[in-house]
Structure 1
Amino acid sequence: MAHVSHASHPEIVKRLRRADGHLHTVIQMIESGRPCQDLAQQLHAIEKAVAAAKKTLIHDHIDHCLAHAAEGDPDEARKAIADFKDITKYL
């Protein structure tokens, strides 16, 4: 299947780059001996940011790829349903 870029992708990339920066900061915090509560709080924020990016990506897939395929050729619709079943393992 060809790569398709959606309107939400730049925002997802922006969120993931921000989470990546926070992750590097947490590593530095660990190395400098910061309190565990501070580390846990930051790691929780990173988890939430990544989860939100994943949710946006999956919703975008459903809204665009699945909806578009359902309106088209029956073989394309079956493929879209199979793709949807496959992507649900990441929910």
Structure 2
Amino acid sequence: MELDPTRMTPVVNRIKRAQGQLAGVLRLLEEGRDCEDVVTQLAAVSKALDRAGFAIVATGLQQCLTQGDGVDGVDVKKMEKLFLSLA
């Protein structure tokens, strides 16, 4: 199933923000900054990417339910696997 690009705009923005945060983490490492600062920023990147992943899966599920065959058209095992891959 293809995702609606207009519904993915917030996700794309979140990933771009995470990309900037990750560049910041690299900069902190290259500058030899404090471990706590690096780990804090790295945790923020990780959380942003997790949220983006969950948003993608949730949007896909919603599209399946509203545009497909409803609940019967949802591959539950596949959706479960996607959610668990983010856990």
Whether TM exceeds 0.5 here: the answer is yes
Name the structure 2 match of 1:30.
Answer: 29
TM-score, normalised with respect to structure 1: 0.76
Q: Deviations over 1:7-27 (max 9, x none)?
A: 430000000000001101110
- Look up the match of 1:19: 18
Following TM superposition, the consecutive aligned residue runs of length 4 or more in structure 1 with deviations greater than 4 angstroms are none
Q: Paired residue for 1:4?
A: 3
Identity of aligned residues (%): 26
Q: Compute the displacement of 1:51 (Å).
A: 0.7
User: Which secondary structure state, in structure 2, belongs to the residue aligned with residue 8 of structure 1?
Assistant: coil
Q: Which runs of 5+ in 1 are unaligned?
A: none
Q: CA 1:29–1:44 in structure 2 vs 1: closer, same or farther (change >3 Å)?
A: same
Counterpart of 1:81 (choices 55, 75, 78) is: 75
RMSD: 2.2
- Alpha-carbon spacing, 1:57–1:4, altered in 2? closer, same or farther (3 Å): closer
Rounded to whole Å, the distance in 2 between the matches of 1:42 and 1:12 is: 19
Greater relative contact order (CA < 8 Å, ≥ 6 in sequence) = 2
Aligned pairs, number: 85
Q: Secondary structure at the match of 1:19?
A: helix
